[in-house]
Amino acid sequence: MRTQVAIIGAGPSGLLLGALLHKAGIDSVILERKSGEYVLSRIRAGVLEQGAVDMLASVGVDARMNAEGLRHDGFAMGFANRRLRIDLAGLTGKQVTVYGQTEVTRDLMDARKAAGLVTIYEAENVEIHDFDTRNPRVTYEKDGATQELLCDFIAGCDGFHGVCRASVPQGAIRNFEKVYPFGWLGLLADVPPCSHELIYANHERGFALCSMRSKTRSRYYIQCGADEDVNAWSDQRFWDELRRRLDPEAAEAVITGPSLEKSIAPLRSFVAEPLRFGRLFLAGDAAHIVPPTGAKGLNLAASDVHYLGEALREYYRDGSEAGIDAYSARALARIWKAERFSWSLTMLLHRFSNMNAFEQRMQEADFLYIESSRAAQTTIAENYVGLPY
């Protein structure tokens, strides 16, 4: 089999890149080692920057998002039982849209299938070859037989543990990483959210987040030990602990119910440099990880795909390699800004086990400054709604 672009990974970054390439008349084949059902079972974030929303609209995959997504003009930060609203619309003129990553993935899957484009699920033992030449190729196993996919380029959209980044020679790549000494325990329930906008709360017992997937489905998180067992957390224990960490008004508004899903996610910041190796490009979680505090994971994947899609369109339309030569630097410039924002919010809103009295006072001073400064709130708002591509 031959294609122009082999995309490894059928998550939102791979599917969105495939949609952008199809719109530009560029052929692609997507290889995914898991089943489609497994991909859709993964519970992920759900806050979309305007840039991501616009990209979905540009490929005609926005009808359900427009009907079901929740437009938010702001969000709240809580500290010492006080709540500060960051007025996104008033400070930036922009909004964010709450629409689950699972739903984005489903919409992109459905659109790709309707267009008759090739996605190969349950492709086992995927290996990439010769990406440092002009004739890269991918091998994989399907139904017990080894297959080969010839291509012009390989897009590594296969996540943090995928084969693409792992295939780069060790001396050609540099990894930057910070692992945080805690995780997020998340609970999904079919109950109305306690607030119509998200609440990020710093409490002496640890961080908490009140978010939602719809007007009737809520997603809540609390900071926990990185090595804790999710089975030790009954629903009742979770709800009790969540309420302790919220301001009285928010705690009173929490409606409890049985969990649909409960899991613990570790937190890390990670960036790989560079993002191009001959005719292999890394995008999305294969290239970077952000802690979820700033809701940047999916949005960063979208910006990577924007730059990569532009570069490949320029190559096939104009015969120019300027875009693919510039891809890594363009994407990394935005990645590091989003990493900084996510790191800074994580440091502000979480309690660290080794935090001393001085560092705790610094957290309090940061919050008081943000509370008193329109300029500081504008900086947060600009980053939260998404920096320009």
Catalytic residue IDs? 72, 200, 292, 296, 384
Phi, psi of 269 (to 5 degrees): -110, 135
Q: Both tokens of residue 48?
A: 């979309």
Find the helix packing angle between 297-318 and 50-58, rounded to 10°.
40
Distances in Å between the alpha carbon of 183 and those of 71, 164, 180, 297?
28, 26, 8, 16
332: CB partners within 8 A, 6+ apart: 271, 273, 274, 275
Degrees to nearest 5, angle at CA 291 with 286 and 296:
75
Angstrom CA distances, 121 to 9, 26, 143, 357, stand at 9, 21, 11, 52
Per DSSP, the three-state class of 330 is: helix
Quote the CA–CA distance of 260 and 43 in Å, as a whole number: 11
- Sheet of 124-129: strand order equals 124-129, 137-142, 145-150
Alpha-carbon separation of residue 155 from 21, 101, 183, 276 (angstroms): 12, 20, 30, 9
Token duo for residue 260: 């649909």
